[in-house]
């Protein structure tokens, strides 16, 4: 006969959905989590504001950051070698930083309601987070290009 599991133990099926602790502790994991949370908050603020026309950009960035979060956490970047993951991540971060900066300026200057102002302020914070992410990713890309190898940078294999 099998012994029953303790009441606090997680089910194996549910545990597989959670990212590993080492990824959550990594710099890339924390940046992607921050990007996802900020994008979701900005999306909610734009829904509640008069600037609802801006809600598509945070929604797309939320979904892309969430996808990359789970892709890196489940090590899809090591399984699918046809896509150069750091370059994809770099382009996503650059475009997100530019778009968030532009719509944040528009939301803060054009609309007077509190939700638009909050979305703009969170957008500026998201711009900084995305800029930090693309700076780190750019340094990894630069070191990869200097070494002239076809292997991805070692920093993104473990993260």
**96-109 residue pLDDT tens:** 999 999 999 999 99
Provide the percentage of residues in the chain whose pLDDT is more than 90: 47
* In contact, 97 and 130? CB cutoff 8 Å: yes
Sign (positive or negative) of CA dihedral 21, 39, 60, 14:
positive
Cβ atoms of 73 and 19 closer than 8 Å: yes
- Spatial CB neighbours of 144, under 8 Å, sequence gap ≥ 6: 86, 152, 153
Average of per-residue pLDDT across 1-22: 60
CA 82 from chain center: how many Å? 21
Residue 73 has pLDDT above 90, yes or no: no
What average pLDDT does range 134-148 have in this prediction?
A: 84
What is residue 12's predicted lDDT score, i.e. its pLDDT? 64
Indicate the pLDDT class of residue 74, thresholds 50, 70 and 90: confident
* pLDDT given at position 149: 54
Lowest mean pLDDT across 84-88, 113-117, 123-127, 153-157: 153-157
Helix runs in the chain, H state only? 12-15, 21-25, 27-47, 56-73, 76-79, 85-110, 114-147, 154-158
Q: Minimal CA–CA distance to 125: which of 96, 95, 82?
A: 96
Tell whether the model's pLDDT for residue 4 goes beyond 80: no
């Amino acid at each position: 006969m099998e012994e029953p599991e303790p009441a606090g133990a997680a089910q194996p099926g549910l545990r597989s959905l959670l990212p590993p602790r080492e990824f959550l502790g990594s710099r890339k994991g924390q940046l992607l989590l921050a990007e996802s949370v900020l994008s979701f908050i900005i999306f909610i603020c734009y829904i509640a504001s008069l600037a609802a026309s801006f809600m598509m950009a945070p929604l797309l960035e939320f979904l892309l950051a969430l996808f990359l979060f789970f892709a890196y956490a489940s090590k899809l970047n090591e399984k699918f070698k046809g896509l150069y993951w750091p370059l994809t991540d770099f382009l996503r971060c650059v475009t997100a930083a530019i778009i968030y900066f532009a719509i944040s300026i528009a939301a803060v200057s054009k609309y007077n309601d509190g939700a638009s102002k909050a979305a703009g302020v969170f957008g500026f914070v998201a711009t900084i987070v995305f800029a930090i992410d693309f700076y780190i990713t750019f340094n990894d890309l630069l070191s990869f290009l200097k070494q002239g190898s076809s292997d991805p940078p070692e920093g993104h294999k473990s993260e």
